A and B are shown apart, each in its own frame.
Chain A
């Protein structure tokens, strides 16, 4: 009897298992998982490629080639007819580039009478030598007649060549520096006269048609003004609105309307805020175009929903027991909110504000419409003066054809990204340090 049962047992064991396609299903499982990894890899790869491409194009912008020349402040060139005591214009209109050119001729050992060689020197030094040398003479007129070492900026094309960005194998006629200039450049380099220095000008100059003297100085000040205005307006108004909606408002049609509005404003395209700014602030209220004040107002309206949403989340995260305790001890509702809830929600509010500010700092589109695309060379003294913003400056350089401007543009992007990263890191640190889990 037991034999039979054993037989049937072995028979059933020997029967192949019903095929439920496990192999296929596991393969599908692995494939699916691979898709996920691929998706993430594509995203991260793009991020890496983008950042590398910008950094590799832009890091050279932080260095600038200069030529240290012993400038002889020759009286015969600056003031040939010796009238500077009576006519102050002489010192302003003098031919300063000629001083730099002469020093260079001497340094290179060119025959000053060889017109062809002298002509090839054109475009070696930046025209900004005029401004630079004039400032030296204006500060101290006694310098005339003496010789002094001055760092003169190299022209943008020579700067690119010095950094090795110009392919010297290309035929001479098709590149912007001549063979002769390259030879001189190498000579000066060997002597240690021509060298790269940290480019402080990138941070201090305003707009200029010459790449070597253009910088983000005006844009930094404009962006700073705007951030201050956004902070001063959006933070108090945003916090006040959130307190009302979260702590005081009873659910009604009106508060529903406000909520729908805030959620929608958070998703309205930023360029629409630019149209609002143009129509209301500039056309209707008559505020000046290109002013960082108007930019600040537009960015405030844009940032408010972000701050309100973050603040409401922070307020809602404070547990009701705190509220009950405060009210139970006899605090009024207003006292409860301002003396207990708000301090506890402060880290969350600050984090949201910083993230909102970071977004406002990188915003470009609305600023284009209110006339921030402007050639501004002078520092804005007040928020009502014409200014640009950092991202707008980047946009303007993107429209320039010269390669030296592309370098500056990438440098400016690096500056912008560093600012944004710093703000985000501060936000993350704040959140980590002060966040309380209830």
Chain B
């Protein structure tokens, strides 16, 4: 029986228990004893006692069963395959698995008289619309049928046990119904635990991010020395021909890191003055009517997906800058269509609303009294802003800039489209440079073979990026929070 069917049956049992439980609780309320909980809480409690243990068992069994089947297949592969490389063994196991699921489509009569060679079997499967890899071997057929029967047996056990658990649980829940039973407290306890569970998902995600990247990164550093990655100035990860194993490549982080920081720097040069000035103008000068129109318009910039910025840079701004530079020198353009300048400019514009909304919050948090004091002493508004408000808001603004910088470093689509893919080391902003995020995308799109340094390096890059932005975010959040407390 399939997982979903058993799940549906368990759920149906639970719902039936809910109805019966509510009914029973109502029937028991004859007015002599004041009931502790309202009737539907008794129903829900019966539902929970039935469904929760059964579903937990079902999920655990399903995970265990698939792990067991996996090891079962691996152990029944012939010795020469199992002794081969890990990749080869995995490939064979994968073939067995797809063969097994293909066999499920055949009717029982055909299965009883299954041919022993794949060449005979293939047309029968093809007739059912199952396409299999041509390198499926004959010896895999008995393993596949064996796997199917084992998985059938495991499925049967899980179905019987979980339905049994559901019934026992429901019985327990229904039996406990009495006017003084504390059904509401029980139900609420379960709810509280599930709320807690939902909130731990944030921690699980972080752990998942770190662990998933860590394992692949360790695998990468087993093949490539740390110094090659962290101190190498050349990025040239030659892709190995399929199946030819890992060839030597150069995985120097430095050109990528330099490109990332350079582009982020250009972006900040654009975003910080413009964002800060517009936040200042908006909070100190603009009439309410102007503010009501201009502020949402600027926020529109934040709502536009980054791919749109990237395409604008690629299709419009890049060629435009190239043509302008060509016109200036009268021939050869000195700005390339994909350049640090283009990517930085567009990314800077993307970050304007980030800077302005963060600094808007910080500027309005400066107490009114400081402003009034300065104005009362005869300072002009701009003097008040420059000499009183901005210095007072400085730590917060530094935090905001750090947060913005971490956004700039992690930005992907703009640089993928506008910055180029060549890993140069240059100081000329009119040339192309590439970034960490571009290389992650490059190494992981298209057909890929896992366990080669060429793909694993993406995870090493990813964890570098994660660590970099994490440190910036933590410092920035610390500064912002600390600063806020000052005036409260």
Report which A residues bind B (CB closer than 8 A): 25-26, 28-29, 31-33, 35-40, 42-44, 46-47, 50, 53-54, 57, 236-238, 240-245, 248-249, 257-258, 260-265, 267-276, 278-280, 283-284, 301, 304-305, 308, 332-334, 358, 361-365, 368-369, 371, 373, 391, 394-395, 398, 406, 409-410, 413, 416-417, 420, 424
Contact = CB atoms under 8 A, between A and B. Distances in A.
A434 to B, nearest CB: 19
A356 to B, nearest CB: 12
Contacts of A391: 305, 307
Interface in B292-323: 294, 297-298, 300-301, 303-312, 314-316
B326 interface: no
Pick from B275, B277, B349 the residue with the most CB of A within 10 Å: B277
A270 B410 contact: yes
Nearest to B275: A39
B349 A43 contact: yes
A33 B441 contact: no
A368 B441 contact: yes
Contact of B312 (A54, A244, A301, A305): A54
B196 interface: yes
- Which 10 residue pairs are nearest across A and B when measured between Cβ atoms? A269-B410, A36-B281, A362-B305, A279-B212, A240-B198, A32-B382, A39-B277, A365-B412, A241-B199, A244-B195
Given A279-B216, A280-B208, A395 B473 contact: no
B298 A237 contact: no
A240 B194 contact: yes
B444 interface: yes
Interface in B344-366: 349, 352-353
B325 to A, nearest CB: 19
Nearest to A245: B199
A305 B474 CA distance: 16
Given A33-B285, A36-B280, A44-B298, A280 B192 contact: no
Interface in B198-230: 198-203, 205-206, 208-209, 212-213, 215-216
B95 interface: no
29 contacts: A28-B383, A32-B382, A32-B385, A32-B386, A35-B277, A36-B281, A38-B277, A39-B278, A40-B294, A43-B274, A43-B349, A44-B294, A244-B196, A245-B199, A248-B195, A264-B473, A271-B465, A272-B209, A276-B205, A283-B450, A334-B188, A334-B192, A362-B308, A394-B307, A406-B315, A410-B311, A413-B308, A416-B308, A417-B308
A236 B445 CA distance: 32
Given A40-B278, A398-B314, A417-B304, A271 B440 contact: yes
B305 A420 contact: yes
A227 B383 CA distance: 49
B297 A47 contact: yes
Contacts of A37: 281
B413 interface: yes
Nearest to A363: B305
B428 interface: no
B199 A244 contact: yes
A368 B306 CA distance: 14
A244 B203 contact: no
Contacts of B445: 368-369, 371, 373
Interface of B: 184, 188, 191-192, 194-196, 198-203, 205-206, 208-209, 212-213, 215-216, 273-278, 280-282, 285, 294, 297-298, 300-301, 303-312, 314-316, 349, 352-353, 380-383, 385-386, 403, 406-407, 409-413, 416-417, 437, 440-441, 444-446, 450, 458-459, 462, 465-466, 469-470, 473-474, 477
Contacts of A410: 311, 315
B441 to A, nearest CB: 5
A238 B309 CA distance: 30
B198, B208, B275, B314: most-surrounded residue (chain A CB, <10 A): B198
A50 B307 CA distance: 12
Contacts of A364: 305-307, 412-413
A267 B209 CA distance: 13
Contacts of B275: 39
Contacts of B315: 53, 57, 398, 406, 410
B202 A369 contact: no
A258 to B, nearest CB: 6
